[in-house]
């Protein structure tokens, strides 16, 4: 991981340079990120449980896939790459919204990111990369909201931050994409 670099950006997502990923997380430097949310034909969201040996947020539930574009990599290409690397899935991704966050992760790390959120529809089952995820499940958005209310510490900080925007965005997205599953 020490060789992976991220794209440093300003608050408007304009590239400023690059930095090693772990350094960006320990120094809290703003960088570009991607998050992917895959829904099945029943409108359920595929969650992943981060592998138990991840350097932050190990064993926590999160969105289907997340990660960072590499320098010189298009954001949508990074989303496709990470979806395949983490979950063994390929799907047509749609950019849905962007957001900024600066969230403490513990152990002196933070997720100071300008995030690009993508949605997809698929009924394919994942083939997990055990270095990335050690569990997955589909869940209805209402059930996820209930679980978050009861057990927020079982979810990643960025998922907790982003999830309130997901139901309304998902309803519109799924209404227009139900035939693509």
Among the options 5, 57, 113, 121, which is catalytic? 113
Q: Cβ–Cβ contacts within 10 Å for residue 150, how many?
A: 8
Among the options 5, 20, 44, 66, which is catalytic? 66
Does 31 count as an annotated binding residue?
Answer: yes
Does 68 count as an annotated binding residue?
Answer: yes
Does 161 count as an annotated binding residue?
Answer: no
Q: Is 113 a catalytic residue?
A: yes
Q: Is 66 a catalytic residue?
A: yes
What is the SS3 string spanning the chain? CCCCEEEEECCCCCEEEEEEHHHHHHHCCCEEEEEEEEECCCCCEEEEEECCCCCCCCCCEECCEEECCCCCCCHHHHHHHHHHHHHCCCCCCEEEEEEEEEEEEECCEEEEEEEEEEEEECCCCCCCCCCCEEEEEEECHHHHHHHHHHCHHHECHHHHHHHHHHHHHHHHHHHHHHHHC
Binding-site positions for Mg(2+): 86
Binding-site positions for Mn(2+): 25, 31, 68, 111, 113
Residues serving a catalytic function are 66, 113
């Amino acid at each position: 991981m020490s060789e992976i670099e991220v794209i440093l950006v300003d608050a408007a997502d304009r590239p400023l340079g690059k930095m090693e990923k772990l350094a960006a997380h320990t120094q809290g430097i703003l960088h570009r990120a991607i998050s992917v949310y895959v829904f099945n034909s029943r409108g359920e969201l595929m969650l992943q449980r981060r592998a138990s040996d991840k350097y932050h947020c190990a064993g926590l539930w999160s969105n289907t896939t997340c990660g960072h574009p590499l320098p010189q990599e298009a954001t949508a290409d990074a989303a496709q790459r990470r979806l395949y690397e983490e979950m063994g899935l390929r799907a047509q991704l749609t950019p849905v919204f962007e957001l900024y966050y600066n969230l403490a992760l513990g152990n002196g790390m933070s997720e100071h990111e300008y995030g690009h959120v993508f949605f997809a529809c698929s009924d394919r089952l994942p083939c997990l990369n055990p270095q990335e995820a050690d569990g997955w499940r589909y869940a209805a958005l209402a059930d996820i909201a209930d679980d978050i209310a009861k057990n927020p510490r079982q979810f990643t900080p960025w998922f907790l931050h982003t999830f309130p925007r997901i139901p309304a965005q998902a309803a519109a997205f799924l209404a227009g994409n139900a035939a693509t599953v």
